[in-house]
Amino acid sequence: MTCRYSTIFIFLFVLTIAANGQSSAVADSLFAAGDYTSAAVEYERCYYLATSRTNGRTALENKAQCYKRMGSFDRAAATLERYATTYDDYQQLALCQYLASDFEKAAASIVRCQALADTIGTDLLLIKTLTLNELLLYDSALSTALTLASQQMKRPAFELAHQLYTLYSTRPQAKSEQTARRLSYIPGMGHLYARQWDLGMTAFTLNAALLSFGVWQVIEGCYLTAWVGGAGLLSATYPGQMRSAEAATRQYNRQQADTFNAKARQFLLDTFAP
Amino acid sequence: MNPRLCLLLALLPLCLHAQTQPTVAQEFDFVMYLIGNGMKEEALVATHRTPLGGDSINFLKGYAHYSAQMLDTASSYFAHIAPSSPLFSEGSFYGTISESHLGHYDRALNLLHRLPEENAQERNLALFETAGIKLLQRDMQTFDSLFPLIDTSDYRLNAEVRDLLHLRTNLGSHKAKRPWVAGACSAVLPGLGKVYAGKLGEGLSAFLITGGLMATTAENYVHHGATHWMTLATGLLSAVFYVGNIYGSVATARVSLNTFNQRHDLQILYDIHIPVRAHYRR
């Protein structure tokens, strides 16, 4: 009797293992063939059928890998979020979130990562520096980059620190949108502050022309024409150029930050990437 | 060696091969799991990849496309379910909703007419859906004749039945703004057509701009004469704004009517969709 039950148990056990193994093999072959979309679905099936936490975790890891290969980092991050528990998981998650341009979430994952370890490695420090740059927190980014430099063995720390100080000394100083608005009381000045020369000249010329037209019509005794053609149009263009100056300043700040971040990213990756 | 054990071992490779292909039930559960967890694109990929066929798979494909808002394809899959299938009624209801969303009301009604008569709850649901579609078609007379036949004691229909009746009252009492009246009003007094169409702010703004330009033309005419360039320029601008305002008023009245209809259609579609999901617990 015992022998019979043992045989049936072994038979069913082999079938279960085979079922999981087969779906995993299908997913692996699709992955190897470069069909990452289908492979991701089959790995999800492996997770769905998984009989243990380890198998489920492996399936999700592979699924996240598929999305990374597809360049779909937001989906990779969403998959990683489902199983992330360790330092390495959160580091991967932060990287995917950074690559998906979800910088706030990347910063949150870095904090969780730091909470899981006493010391943090160079990879995470590098991701953290890049993320802080994108969040325009340049002082914190420099401080993190200096920690990263102190962990480097290839080059002397003081030399790297000097290069980092030189790099971050060129970081963009954000221009104030409020100042741009205040300067725009004289039409065009706000645009000049945001280095938008052509828009500044246009705003000044247009508003000056409308004001002059209004004054000319008053002198001519055509008060209605002055009101409609001068004041009426000026009431639209004057506040409009103020808002435009604010937008131009915002755009200028973003452009400056993007340029610096690209330069910093290149330097940091060349220097610290494994 | 035990002959039973020998048989078992001989069957093992066969069973292993069978295990490589998921069954229809397994595929069904897996795709529903994907949809339930918001992985709609994955569900579509899974249904495209499956080598299985039959009514359950047609329903599954239809439901995956329906969840991904690909209603045209969903509808064609739902239409392929055979009447003998246990999923026929459910597929017909989801097909009805898909066709209603696509504006194919007659096709939606045809799907409802195919339903079997045996199940009282499904018959009541079909009656409710038919009434909803009639309201979408603005066939108030048929709606009024069907509505009293709906069994409102069914808790799954209760809220939506009330809502449908409320929408019927709104549609019945709504006085549509006529575009030509709006245009005529604006021709008499700039901006009045927009006020008639329910846009008070736009009407006042149009009145001030067009009126201001006309007053400017008059002033220039008095000061400089009819042939002065300022008179001609302001006159031309006034004419452009005057005609533009008439056209704008006609368009506003049309848009106002369309917006009203669209808002009500969306609410009706929502109301006929909820009881189907509640009935089949999807």
Each domain of chain B, given as residue ranges in start order, spans 21-174+271-280, 179-265
- Mention every residue, 6+ apart, whose C-beta is less than 8 A from residue A148: A122, A125, A126, A129, A268, A272
Closest-CA residue in chain B for A18? B16
Tell me how far apart the alpha carbons of residues B230 and A225 are, in angstroms, rounded to a whole number.
Answer: 9
Cβ contact, residue pair A38, B34, below 8 Å: no
CA-closest candidate to residue B181, choices B170, B192, B165, B173: B192
Tell me how far apart the alpha carbons of residues B210 and B228 are, in angstroms, rounded to a whole number.
Answer: 20
Alpha-carbon gap: A26 to the closest alpha carbon of chain B (Å): 9
Helix, strand, coil shares, percent, chain A, to 5: 80, 0, 20
Region A198-223: mean pLDDT is 92
The DSSP 8-state label assigned to residue B148 in this structure reads G
Q: Residue A141's Cα: distance from chain center in Å?
A: 15
Chain B residues with CB-CB distance to A41 below 8 A: 34, 42, 45-46, 49
Inter-chain contacts counted by CB atoms under 8 A, chains A and B: 64
pLDDT reading at B15 higher than 60:
no
Region A95-123: mean pLDDT is 93
CA-closest candidate to residue B279, choices B154, B173, B97: B154
Confidence category of residue B5, pLDDT binned at 50, 70, 90: low
Chain A residues with CB-CB distance to B2 below 8 A: 3
Tell me how far apart the alpha carbons of residues A206 and B194 are, in angstroms, rounded to a whole number.
Answer: 31
Alpha-carbon gap: B71 to the closest alpha carbon of chain A (Å): 22
Chain A residues with CB-CB distance to B212 below 8 A: 224, 227-228, 232
At B150, give phi and psi (nearest 5°). -75, 135
Please write the tens of the pLDDT for every residue from B102-122: 999 999 999 999 888 888 888
CA-closest candidate to residue B229, choices A8, A163, A225, A128: A225
Chain A residues with CB-CB distance to B19 below 8 A: 15, 18-19, 22
Alpha-carbon gap: A180 to the closest alpha carbon of chain B (Å): 30
Cβ contact, residue pair B212, A15, below 8 Å: no
pLDDT reading at B20 higher than 80:
no
CA-closest candidate to residue A90, choices A70, A66, A64: A64
At A143, give phi and psi (nearest 5°). -60, -45
Please write the tens of the pLDDT for every residue from B153-196: 878 788 899 999 999 999 988 888 899 999 999 999 999 999 99
The answer to whether residues A92 and A80 touch, using CB atoms and an 8 Å cutoff, is yes
pLDDT reading at A231 higher than 90:
no
Question: Which letter, b or e, does each residue of A29-40 get, where b requires 16 or more Cβ atoms within 10 Å of its Cβ?
Answer: ebbeeebbbbbb
- Mention every residue, 6+ apart, whose C-beta is less than 8 A from residue B245: B186, B190, B191, B193, B194, B206, B210
Please write the tens of the pLDDT for every residue from B200-255: 999 999 999 999 999 999 999 999 899 999 899 999 999 999 999 999 999 999 99
Q: Which of B5, B8, B20, B241 to mutate to test the interface with A (most CBs of A within 10 A)?
A: B20
Tell me how far apart the alpha carbons of residues B14 and A49 are, in angstroms, rounded to a whole number.
Answer: 21
Amino acid of residue B61: K
Which CATH number is B21-174+271-280 given? 1.25.40.10
Query: What are B's interface residues with A at a Cβ cutoff of 8 A?
Result: 2, 4-5, 8, 12, 15-16, 19-20, 22, 30, 33-34, 39, 42, 45-46, 49, 212-213, 215-216, 218-220, 223, 230, 234
Directed axis angle between helix A233-272 and helix A157-169, to 10°?
A: 170
Tell me how far apart the alpha carbons of residues A62 and B233 are, in angstroms, rounded to a whole number.
Answer: 71
Cβ contact, residue pair B16, A15, below 8 Å: yes
Consecutive H or E run containing A171: none
Alpha-carbon gap: A15 to the closest alpha carbon of chain B (Å): 6
Cβ contact, residue pair B216, A40, below 8 Å: no
pLDDT reading at B2 higher than 80:
no
Nearest beta carbon to residue B45 from set A37, A48, A221:
A37
CA-closest candidate to residue B95, choices B58, B44, B42, B146: B58
Closest-CA residue in chain A for B230? A225
Confidence category of residue B39, pLDDT binned at 50, 70, 90: very high
- Mention every residue, 6+ apart, whose C-beta is less than 8 A from residue A266: none
Closest-CA residue in chain A for B49? A38
Tell me how far apart the alpha carbons of residues B223 and B217 are, in angstroms, rounded to a whole number.
Answer: 10
Alpha-carbon gap: B269 to the closest alpha carbon of chain A (Å): 32
Tell me how far apart the alpha carbons of residues B149 and B124 are, in angstroms, rounded to a whole number.
Answer: 8
Lowest-confidence region among A5-14, A181-190, A213-222, B143-152: A5-14
Please write the tens of the pLDDT for every residue from A50-97: 989 999 999 999 999 999 999 999 999 999 999 999 999 999 999 999
Query: What are A's interface residues with B at a Cβ cutoff of 8 A?
Result: 3-4, 7, 11, 14-15, 18-19, 22-23, 26, 37-38, 40-41, 44-45, 48, 220-225, 227-229, 232
Q: Which of A36, A37, A45, A74 to mutate to test the interface with B (most CBs of B within 10 A)?
A: A45
β strands within chain B, DSSP E: none
Cβ contact, residue pair A221, B223, below 8 Å: yes
Chain B residues with CB-CB distance to A223 below 8 A: 219
